């Protein structure tokens, strides 16, 4: 029988199959544990060798899907290359695109993966195949769109998919729609809602908008939800409210009546405690001025008190909820007496094990920011990272948090660099990029040849992104130094450390192109920002705002409920150890101004 042209030989296929049984470098896929799938794959490959024409191409496609399932990446790459020019039926065109797109995602090229699925021929073919295959196509395309920040398009695809799938599959589809909706801020949700003719989508957008309203207290949100349910009685989300919304009315009916706040308002931490206190009072008076229910709130200075005295004050106060203390040692000590005290929002991050059910740990944890840099950069750039941090205890924490998350996501660390806090980081960057080694090679060559030569140093080529952590003074030198060291093409990421929190286009011009994450309140153009122009430490003030909002939400933030708070310091949710994890907003410096970036999945 005549063989199909350009097919890999049986021997080559067997070699590829045998060579790709190692551990995959993507942690989010399941590795086959049985030899049976591999036997089936090998049998299919033998049939390919002895078949010709369209049948051979179909078998190759079957083999490629099996190789994808088993994560046989070299084999999959070979098969996909052979299928490039194969003539397939309509379903085959869609299946080939799905497999190729999955391989491109494995190669961390999400833009190419989405382009493969968005090809006009593939898109048209997806409309003429089985509902099951169309569903798979829409799901994979939506996931890629969300990764690249195209959230409205992703949601529209999932809404279309919802018309094709069985009732048993709809819950997962709706959960994904909800996750994507919460990547949009309230302004984006409201704008889309006002402009879409799609009633089903509008209902989703309005529901997400009331959930996303970080300024609303529990009572207001519960009333808005009740109104939504009356206006959308037949909406698919009404039968199974997402995100813990079904618990909202219960929480509104059981608001705390007496709140005690313990903060250090004297001593070395006085400014910190006073700023957090002012944020709490700001949120309290905003709520009261709106005519909404407010608790009786009282304050004690925790600075002169030890932990036993703080607990005694709590017990004497008859408080329903406690906010504080802030000092780390007092927080640890108070946490050990959890059985004696009411619901308590501890204003510092405790990472050592799970807390009691009546405790929540909340703080501006810099490790959250470092980990989220890894989450975003590995989607936007590539797998190889350069990390530069100050040589101090904070630098140790930031470096560890970034590296841990980066490696978990399947990335590799090309180089670490440390610099002394407050000092020039030029030499650290130069060494990390191997510019010094390139210059040394030039000097050695000049000595050996005796020639004077034109020379441009060459940086190392195994870096896809750089995470550089530093205060504004150091951070403002990042972009110019990378450009000076022939590395202006490397995407640069930093944390809130890089930004003072105050717009300064002249000083921040040198941060051009640097992406960073920070609290949403700094990018809020609403009147609330105008009311507090004199606040010096805005992040701590925002922490006070969120501390007040959180005190009403002990039941709602329970991991079993899964509700989030769209707060001033980030999107807040409770992890399994009862620590509040903040999802921050993103911005990029453009002409010295921090411009918001869209969220990505």
CATH number at residue 467: 3.40.50.2300
> Is it true that the peptide bond before 430 is cis, omega within 30 degrees of 0?
no
Q: Which residue has the tokens 């295959």?
A: 133
Q: Is 466 helix (H, G, I), strand (E, B) or coil?
A: strand
Q: C-alpha distances in angstroms, 289 versus 21, 241, 283, 530?
A: 65, 30, 10, 17
pLDDT at 482 (0 to 100): 87
8 inside domain: no
In a domain, 24, yes or no: no
Whether 582 is covered by a domain: the verdict is no
Between CA 591 and CA 486 the distance in angstroms is: 21
Same domain, 477 and 384: yes
Q: Is residue 501 domain-shared with residue 471, that is, in the same domain?
A: yes
Structure confidence by residue, pLDDT tens digits, 290-348? 898 899 999 999 999 999 999 999 999 999 999 999 999 999 999 999 999 999 999 99
Residues 401-456: tens digit of each pLDDT? 999 999 999 999 999 999 987 677 888 888 888 764 444 544 554 455 554 544 45
Torsion on CA atoms 573, 25, 466, 494, rounded to nearest 10: 0
In a domain, 32, yes or no: no
- Which of these three, 201, 233, 252, is where a domain ends? 252
Span 381-393, pLDDT tens digits? 989 999 999 999 9
Could you tell me which residues are beta bridge partners of residue 343?
Answer: 321
Q: Answer yes or no: do 265 and 317 share one domain.
A: yes
Do 501 and 358 reside in the same domain of the chain?
no
Average pLDDT of the segment spanning 115-143: 96
pLDDT number for residue 23: 40
Question: Binning pLDDT at 50, 70 and 90, where does residue 241 land?
Answer: very high
Q: What is the pLDDT of residue 433?
A: 85
Range of the domain at 314: 258-364+525-564
Residues 381 and 501 in one domain: yes
Place of tokens 């989703």: 204
pTM over 0.75: yes
Boundary residue ending a domain (195, 226, 252): 252
Q: Which of 210-219, 254-263, 513-522, 566-575 has the lowest mean pLDDT?
A: 210-219
**Domain count across the chain:** 3
Is residue 476 situated within a structural domain? yes
Q: Across 156-295, where does the E strand assignment appear? A: 258-263
Buried b / exposed e along 313-352 (16+ C-beta atoms within 10 A): bbeebebbbbbbbbbeebbebbbebbeebbbbbbbbbbee
**pLDDT of res. 383:** 92
pLDDT higher than threshold 70 for residue 566: yes
Query: pLDDT, tens digit, for every residue of 454-513?
Result: 445 666 788 999 999 999 988 898 889 888 887 889 999 999 999 998 889 999 999 999
């Amino acid at each position: 029988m005549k063989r199909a042209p350009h097919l890999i030989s049986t021997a080559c296929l067997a070699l590829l199959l045998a060579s790709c049984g190692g551990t995959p470098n993507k942690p989010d896929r399941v590795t086959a544990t049985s030899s049976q799938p591999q036997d089936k794959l090998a049998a299919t490959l033998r049939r390919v060798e002895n078949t010709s024409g369209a049948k051979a191409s179909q078998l190759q496609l079957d083999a490629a899907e099996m190789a994808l399932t088993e994560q046989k990446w070299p084999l999959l790459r070979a098969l996909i290359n052979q299928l490039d020019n194969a003539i397939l039926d309509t379903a085959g065109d869609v299946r080939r695109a799905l497999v190729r797109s999955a391989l491109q995602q494995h190669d961390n090229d999400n833009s190419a993966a989405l382009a493969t699925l968005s090809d006009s021929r593939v898109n048209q073919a997806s409309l003429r195949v089985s509902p099951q295959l169309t569903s798979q196509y829409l799901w994979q395309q939506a996931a890629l769109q969300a990764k690249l920040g195209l959230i409205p398009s992703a949601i529209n695809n999932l809404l279309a998919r919802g018309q094709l799938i069985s009732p048993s599959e709809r819950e997962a589809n709706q959960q994904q729609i909800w996750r994507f909706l919460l990547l949009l801020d309230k302004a984006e949700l409201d704008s889309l809602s006002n402009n879409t003719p799609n009633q089903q989508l509008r209902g989703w957008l309005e529901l997400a908008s009331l959930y996303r309203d970080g300024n609303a207290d529990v009572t207001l949100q519960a009333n808005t939800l009740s109104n939504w349910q009356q206006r959308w009685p037949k909406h698919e989300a009404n039968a199974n409210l997402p995100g813990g919304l079904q618990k909202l009315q219960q929480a509104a009916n059981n608001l705390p009546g007496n709140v005690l706040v313990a903060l250090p308002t004297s001593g070395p931490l006085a400014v910190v405690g006073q700023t957090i206190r002012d944020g709490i009072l700001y949120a309290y008076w905003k709520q009261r001025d709106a005519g909404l229910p407010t608790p009786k709130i009282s304050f004690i200075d925790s600075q002169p008190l030890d932990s036993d005295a703080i607990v005694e004050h709590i017990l004497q106060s008859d408080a329903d909820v406690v906010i504080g203390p802030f000092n780390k040692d007092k927080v640890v000590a108070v946490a050990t007496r959890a059985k004696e005290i009411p619901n308590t929002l501890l204003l510092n991050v405790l990472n050592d094990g799970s807390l009691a059910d009546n405790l929540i740990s909340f703080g501006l944890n810099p490790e959250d920011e470092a980990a989220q840099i890894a989450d975003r950069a590995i989607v936007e750039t590539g797998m190889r990272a350069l990390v530069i941090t100050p040589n101090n205890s904070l630098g140790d924490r930031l470096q560890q948090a970034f590296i841990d998350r980066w490696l978990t996501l399947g990335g590799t660390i090309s180089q670490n660099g440390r610099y002394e806090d407050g000092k020039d980081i030029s030499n650290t960057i130069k060494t990390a990029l191997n510019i010094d080694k390139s210059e040394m090679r030039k000097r050695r060559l000049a000595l050996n040849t005796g020639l004077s030569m034109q020379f441009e140093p060459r940086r190392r080529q195994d870096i896809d992104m750089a995470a550089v952590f530093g205060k504004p003074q150091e951070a403002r030198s990042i972009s110019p130094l990378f450009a000076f060291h022939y590395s202006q093409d490397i995407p640069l990421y930093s944390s809130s450390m890089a930004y003072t929190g105050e717009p300064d286009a002249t000083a921040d011009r040198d941060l051009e192109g640097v992406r960073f994450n920070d609290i949403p309140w700094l990018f809020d153009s609403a009147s609330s920002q105008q009311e507090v122009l004199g606040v010096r430490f805005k992040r701590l003030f925002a922490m006070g705002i969120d501390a007040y909002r959180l005190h009403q939400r002990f039941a709602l933030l329970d991991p079993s409920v899964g509700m989030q708070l769209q707060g001033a310091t980030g999107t807040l949710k409770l992890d399994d150890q009862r620590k509040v994890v903040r999802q921050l907003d993103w911005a990029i410096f453009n002409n010295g101004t921090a411009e918001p970036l869209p969220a990505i999945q």
